Amino acid sequence: MSERGLLNPRREVRTVVLVQASQLRPARRERPGFLWAAPAAVFFTIFGIVPIAVVLYLSFTTWNGLGTPEWTGTTNWRALPEDTDALHSIWVTAKLTIFCWLIQTPLSLLLGVWAAGPQRNRAILSTLFFLPLLLSTAAIALTWLSLLDPNFGLAASLGSYVGVPDGNFLGDDSRALYAVAAVISWQFVPFHTLLYQAAARQIPVAMYEVAEMDGARTMRQFISITLPQLRNTIIASSVLVVVGSLTYFESILLLTNGGPGTATRVLPLHMYVKGFVGFDMGYASVLAVLLVAVGTALSVLIVRSTGYHRMNSDREGM
């Protein structure tokens, strides 16, 4: 009864006031309109959306970066299938993406689950774990460049233990891509570990308790509870690894500059070389259009796999 306000005069008064307020000033019940989003929208349009249209336009022109772009029709596009370096760079990008996924996903999954657990020294150790996150790509690439130096670096002394007596990792055709993948993974595993740690902490403990009562061992619990519960995180993290592979350009520029030869030249680096080293901006734009296409497709994937587009609160039902 009291909930209805009959025995609660204060509540009833309040209800009346609310009704009156809304009737007296209906015009003021407004919601924030587009104007609030306008600065961000305009800014992102200028630097994010318009450039996509412009890069498409530039791909039909010839431009050396200084003068005015001149329309040349489909010349640049017809040059694409003949550019063996471009096809090779797409292949290198794909291989690098796969290597990075194979290293990062199992490792960060295990580390994340471990970091979510009850170990005694976990807090101190995980402080160390995440330190690579703080270093810039340039700092990490240059540090590893000196660590992998075949003359003075760690590679010189440890190389012989892993079957590389000359310690030459980055300068060798067959090893350079693995070395690059390893450095990139060193940089990004902590980030993915964070994602898995956060997700593993949300798995209800009761599930493990029940499983243990039923006699399930640790391994069985990991396979039957942890992995299925982390399914969405595995998808999200994997998508981010793939997306990230489009931006590895910087590490590779500093580590190997695409070499030796073109052994580590990924698509973004190939584009950079064509555009800003060879000053063939028109053809470089063709490669950029390919990047945009892949990037947009991946954005759609991220949105699908993380549920950003949902308009309700994540906290509900937690």
Restricting to residues 165-194, name those near other proteins by CB under 8 A: 186, 189-191, 194
268 binds other proteins (CB under 8 A): yes
Which of residues 126 and 177 has its CB atom nearest to other proteins in the complex? 126
Q: Read out DSSP for the chain?
A: -GGGTSS-HHHHHHHHHHHHHHHH-GGG-----HHHHHHHHHHHIIIIIHHHHHHHHHTTEE--SSS--EE-TTHHHHHGGG-HHHHHHHHHHHHHHHHHHHHHHHHHHHHHHHHHS--TTHHHHHHHHTGGGGS-HHHHHHHHHHHT-TTTSHHHHHGGGGT-TT--STTSTTTHHHHHHHHHHHHHHHHHHHHHHHHHHTS-HHHHHHHHHTT--HHHHIIIIIHHHTHHHHHHHHHHHHHHTTSTHHHHHHHTTT-STTTT--HHHHHHIIIIIS--HHHHHHHHHHHHHHHHHHHHHHHHHHTTT--S-TTTT-
Out of 60, 99, 188, 272, name the contact with other proteins by CB under 8 A: 272
**Which residues in the 49-68 window bind other proteins by CB under 8 A?**
49-52, 54-55, 58, 65
22 binds other proteins (CB under 8 A): yes
Binding mask 84-123 for other proteins (x = CB under 8 A): -----------------------x--xx-xxxxxxx----
Out of 250, 259, 260, 262, name the contact with other proteins by CB under 8 A: 250
Closest CA to 282 of 31, 13, 118, 67: 67
Whole-number minimum distance, CB 121 to other proteins, in Å?
10
Token pair recorded at residue 309? 């587009």
Distances, alpha carbon 30 to alpha carbons 14, 26, 226, in Å? 22, 9, 46
Whole-number minimum distance, CB 217 to other proteins, in Å?
9
Whole-number minimum distance, CB 66 to other proteins, in Å?
9
Token pair recorded at residue 108? 């960060």
Whole-number minimum distance, CB 32 to other proteins, in Å?
4
Question: Whose structure tokens read 């007296």?
Answer: 24
Decide if 258 contacts 269 (C-beta within 8 A).
yes
**Which residues in the 188-247 window bind other proteins by CB under 8 A?**
189-191, 194-195, 198-202, 205-206, 208-210, 212-213, 218-219, 221-222, 232-233, 236-237, 240, 243, 246-247
128 binds other proteins (CB under 8 A): yes
Interface region with other proteins, contact rule CB under 8 A, candidates 40-48, 70-78, 86-94, 169-177: 40-48
Whole-number minimum distance, CB 248 to other proteins, in Å?
10
Question: If binding means CB under 8 A, how many residues of this protein chain bind other proteins?
Answer: 130
Closest CA to 169 of 184, 147, 190, 187: 147
**Which residues in the 287-306 window bind other proteins by CB under 8 A?**
288-289, 291-292, 295-296, 298-300, 302-303, 306
Interface region with other proteins, contact rule CB under 8 A, candidates 32-40, 71-79, 80-88, 173-181: 32-40
Out of 60, 99, 188, 249, name the contact with other proteins by CB under 8 A: 249
164 binds other proteins (CB under 8 A): no
Out of 6, 13, 41, 87, name the contact with other proteins by CB under 8 A: 41
Out of 3, 29, 67, 82, name the contact with other proteins by CB under 8 A: 29
Out of 1, 161, 315, 317, name the contact with other proteins by CB under 8 A: 315
